[in-house]
Amino acid sequence: MEGAALRREQDASAESDLAVQLSPMHAVEPSTSSPPQLLPYVKRWLLLNRGGLRAVFAGAISLMLFLLAWHLLTKYRVVFFVRFTNVPSPAAVYESLSRAMHDSRFFMHVMLSCRRILFGFSLAAFTAVPLGLVMGRFKLAHEILFPVTEVLRPIPAIAWVPMAIMLWPTNEQSIVFITFLGSFFPILVNTLHGMSLVDPVLVRASQCLGAREMSIFREVYFPASLPHIFTGLTVGMGVAWVSLIAAEMISGQYGIGYFTWEAYSLVQYPDIALGMICIGVLGLGSSALIRGLGRVVMPWNRT
């Protein structure tokens, strides 16, 4: 009898424990403190951007190899057709950069060069693109203006320096003018090339549908020529920097070109390399801005 009573008590206790476990108050809730599973999203992002990451990785390796070669050539003063005896080392250029970062004159040189590029390149773009569209559309305008542009186009920007000094009352205006000339012709030529490649079937189709001349320009010629226009803008930006630096070295008193030439005159070789690197970085950044604007304006032309 005692054994039966003991078993009944054990069964009752087990049923009570089971009821407590199954009650809503003691239901097992899912854990909210577990970290999110980010690995699938990271893998997906890497898969979608593998082309860009590969380009960044390859570019970083090439830059490191370039710096290594530069360091070794200057460290051992290699002379093999090209003399590296007086070329500053990367460490010396870095020291020059550290000093320049605490010098307001260096930032003034950079800002003045950027302002001149902005003014000269903007004037060239807003002049060359409409002119190229008009010359590409109307044969009479092409016959009148093309010979003049072809005569002026081969003249290098540095040859315009004496004439620009005589034409404009200040050095600032003459430097902006030379920058304008350097970027004007690449933009104009590429715009003309883009207009010549427009499919005439599209033009005739728009005319058959009753489109007027302005509508044809806006809906057919301009979108079809945009890739070549942005190619001209990118090339023109590079030529604009070349023209600007040449003008600043010859007739300027401020600017990154003047900074580089002054460093040569004062035998400050690290500053020469610093000025050259600064010019390259500024040119790269400005061209990248144009390419980025082109991807925004021409979403259909993305590759």
Closest CA to 248 of 240, 257, 237, 239: 257
What does the pLDDT profile of the chain (303 residues) look like in tens digits? 545 555 565 555 555 554 545 455 444 455 555 455 778 888 888 888 887 788 888 989 999 999 999 999 999 988 888 899 889 999 999 999 999 999 899 999 999 999 999 999 999 999 999 999 999 988 999 999 999 999 999 998 889 988 998 999 988 999 999 999 999 999 999 999 999 998 888 888 888 888 888 888 888 888 889 999 999 999 999 999 999 999 998 877 889 999 999 999 998 999 999 999 999 999 999 999 999 999 898 887 765
* CA separation for the pair 234, 107 (Å, rounded): 25
At 7, give phi and psi (nearest 5°).
Answer: -65, -40
pLDDT recorded at residue 20: 47
SS (H, E, C) the chain: CHHHHHHHHHHHHHHHHHHHHHCHHHCCCCCCCCCCCCHHHHHHHHHHCHHHHHHHHHHHHHHHHHHHHHHHHHHCCCEECEECCCCCCHHHHHHHHHHHCCCHHHHHHHHHHHHHHHHHHHHHHHHHHHHHHHHHHCHHHHHHHHHHHHHHCCCCHHHHHHHHHHHCCCHHHHHHHHHHHHHHHHHHHHHHHHHHCCCHHHHHHHHHCCCCHHHHHHHHHHHHHHHHHHHHHHHHHHHHHHHHHHHHHHHCCCCHHHHHHHHHHCCCHHHHHHHHHHHHHHHHHHHHHHHHHHHHHCHHHCC
Closest CA to 124 of 159, 147, 157: 157
- Helices (H) then strands (E): counts for the chain: 13, 2
28 torsion bin: left (phi>0), alpha (psi -120 to 50), beta (else): beta
pLDDT recorded at residue 35: 52
* CA separation for the pair 246, 265 (Å, rounded): 15
Residue 279, both tokens: 């010019």
Separation of CA 187 from chain center? 17
pLDDT recorded at residue 10: 54
* CA separation for the pair 219, 211 (Å, rounded): 9
Alpha-carbon distance values, 59 to 66, 89, 147 (Å): 10, 21, 43
pLDDT recorded at residue 302: 63
